[in-house]
DNA sequence: GCGGCGGGCTGATATGGATCAGCATCCCCC
DNA sequence: GGGGGATGCTGATCCATATCAGCCCGCCGC
């Protein structure tokens, strides 16, 4: 397999693009970031990136591919907490805990850069602006989990799916992997079910319903928005927690 | 109203007690913390501490009383994301966003110390160890939200309630407000319903069920564990995400 | 060329929890 | 001392979603 975006200038990496939505990154920031990108690793499907209960994990920045973080329950079912796309951290939270409290598993083959606790703190010391940006990224991750929690607690299955597809679209657009018309999406209906707290059967029916309503189509690995504004209204989607209009910190 | 724990030495404050579960705090750390505690405010029930959509919010450290953070949905219902008890941050996440993405409302009268973004970054510069501790506290908050998400996604109403009561108990014990036999709890069944994604009616039935099973009793503002180990098993509760055995960082 | 398997799809039936309606108690305020 | 607003509690009914069962299709390995 060829290394995706190997020759990409650092400011065009998904990670830099995402952080740029929050702070304006200087040449120094970019150089330090470039350093973080050094230790590249590849995870094929089936090899966990982070394993629940394991100690002394390090974190990763996802360069290409899709992953998901999840928790396993005693009965054997699982709850997917979130999906990760290029530019996202994998296991940032678990760096601070003695043992990882969740799993991260690749959905497609994954290229990721290893970041140890030491690397991160060193980078922070060098450019505090980057520290702020990373803290922002972590806050954004938490905001997404909160929104996901609202999904599960108070939205119907159909609203939940609509909201989820919109959020994913907005995130992908931020790193240049989709536009207002839709995006490529490697998630199976089983994965959606594990994420949305539904059964796979019901995911199928909900997708059909959204398709028949003329709102979104999810077929053959592509999500196509047929009526974006209608979908936003239906889902009660407010993207303000995902970015700002233009960088905040200069 | 008299100021609760006004004369309390700083190392006995709930905030210090909680952070001590993670790092060993030096005299300097405690002094800087004492400084953060300076600007005290009081919020009676009915006055929001943080208001969704408002800009330039600051955060607070809760000194006494209970609060809850929640999101309002277009239809008028709400989802409570978490309850805050003494020692917890209020709105830490919203300091980094231009506008707050959630509400925080007192459940009982609340005493809290105001912390601005500037205060926080200044304190971090002074004692990096405190920065790590705060980052840990934030990670722990996120871990709790994640566990809450698993509650809503994959646990039955009864397991969910059991898990919730256990988690709350463990948190309260960490700040000295409860023990293995139980704790005082000012939450109404309506609040529980908004948090657990249930109807108030069903909350009532679930509590009855747990009582009749001889696991927990929640009556007259007190939660009493009748069979702690049984409850832990029933809920699949693993408290490892809430603390460590002894401080990690020396 | 065929068997196995993952994934999408669908109908029938079961069920957990919502919703609606109403009563009892306590407490606060007039 | 009486009225009204929270809060707790309970029964009856309804509905969203789970569960079970099975089919079809395309892909991969042998």
Element (H, E) at A89: strand A89-90
**Minimal-distance CA residue of chain B relative to A197:** B153
**Which of A135-139, A226-230, B30-34 has the weakest average pLDDT?**
A135-139
**pLDDT greater than 80 at residue B98:** no
Measured between CA atoms, how close is B93 to chain A, in angstroms? 6
| C1’ D8 / CA B68, Å | 21
Per mean pLDDT, which of A122-136, B53-67, B218-232 is the most reliable?
Answer: B218-232
Q: How far apart are CA B52 and CA B100, in angstroms?
A: 5
Per the CB < 8 A criterion, the answer to whether B115 and B61 are in contact is yes
Question: How many CB atoms are located within 10 Å of the residue A201 CB?
Answer: 10
pLDDT category at A7 given cuts 50, 70, 90 is low
Residue from A124, A153, A191, A240 whose CB has the most chain B CBs within 10 Å, to mutate: A153
Per the CB < 8 A criterion, the answer to whether A144 and A213 are in contact is no
Q: Do B150 and A71 touch (CB under 8 A)?
A: yes
Q: How far apart are CA A148 and CA A163, in angstroms?
A: 9
Mean pLDDT of B33-42: 88
What's the Cα-to-Cα distance from B47 to each of A138, B108, B161, rounded to whole Å? 29, 11, 28
**pLDDT greater than 70 at residue B5:** no
Average pLDDT over chain B, rounded to an integer: 89
Q: Do B93 and A142 touch (CB under 8 A)?
A: yes
Angle subtended at Cα B73 by Cα B69 and Cα B75, rounded to the nearest 5 degrees? 140
The DSSP bridge partners found for residue A239 are none
Residue nearest to nucleotide C7 (CA to C1'): A188
Per the CB < 8 A criterion, the answer to whether A10 and A34 are in contact is yes
Q: What percent of chain A has pLDDT over 90?
A: 59
pLDDT, tens only, B133-189 = 887 888 889 999 999 999 999 999 999 999 999 999 999 998 999 999 999 999 999
Average pLDDT over chain A, rounded to an integer: 89
Per the CB < 8 A criterion, the answer to whether A161 and A196 are in contact is yes
HSE-CB of B100 using CA atoms within 13 angstroms? 22
Rg for chain A, CA atoms, rounded: 18
Q: How far apart are CA B136 and CA B139, in angstroms?
A: 5
Nucleic acid strand C within 7 Å of A219 CB: yes
Task: Note the strand C nucleotides within 7 A of protein beta carbons.
Answer: 6-12, 16-21
The full set of domains in chain A, from first to last, is: 10-142 (2.60.120.10), 146-241 (1.10.10.10)
**Which of A113-122, B169-178, B191-200 has the weakest average pLDDT?**
A113-122
The DSSP bridge partners found for residue B184 are B222
Which residues of chain A make contact with B241, given a CB cutoff of 8 A?
97, 101
Residue in A16, A244, A242 with CA at minimum distance from that of residue A143: A242
Provide the pLDDT for residue B1.
40
Nucleic acid strand C within 7 Å of B78 CB: no
Residue A244 touches partner B, C-beta closer than 8 Å: yes
Angle subtended at Cα A113 by Cα A111 and Cα A117, rounded to the nearest 5 degrees? 145
Instruction: Give the residue with greater pLDDT, B115 vs A136.
Output: B115
Provide the pLDDT for residue B118.
85
Provide the pLDDT for residue A159.
97
């Amino acid at each position: 397999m060829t290394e995706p975006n190997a020759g990409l200038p650092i400011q065009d990496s998904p990670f830099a693009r995402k952080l740029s939505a929050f702070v304006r990154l200087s040449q120094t920031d970019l150089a330090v970031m470039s350093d973080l990108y050094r230790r590249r690793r590849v995870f094929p499907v089936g090899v966990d990136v982070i394993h629940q209960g394991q100690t002394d994990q390090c974190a990763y920045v996802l360069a290409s591919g899709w992953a998901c973080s999840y928790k396993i329950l005693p009965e054997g079912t699982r709850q997917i907490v979130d999906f990760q796309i290029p530019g996202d951290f994998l296991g940032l939270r678990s760096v601070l805990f003695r043992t990882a409290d969740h799993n991260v598993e690749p959905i497609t083959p994954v290229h990721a850069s290893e970041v140890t606790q030491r690397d991160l703190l060193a980078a922070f010391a060098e450019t505090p602006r980057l520290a702020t940006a990373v803290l922002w990224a972590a806050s954004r991750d938490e905001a997404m989990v909160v929104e996901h929690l609202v999904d599960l607690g108070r939205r119907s299955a159909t609203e939940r799916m609509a909201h989820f597809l919109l959020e994913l679209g907005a995130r992908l657009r931020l790193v240049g992997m989709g536009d207002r018309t839709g995006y490529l999406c490697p998630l199976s209906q089983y994965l959606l079910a594990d994420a949305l707290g539904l059964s796979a059967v019901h995911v199928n029916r909900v997708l059909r319903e959204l398709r028949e309503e003329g709102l979104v189509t999810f077929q053959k690995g592509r999500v196509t928005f047929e009526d974006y504004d209608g979908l936003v209204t239906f889902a009660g989607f407010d993207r303000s927690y995902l970015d700002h209009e233009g960088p905040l910190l200069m």
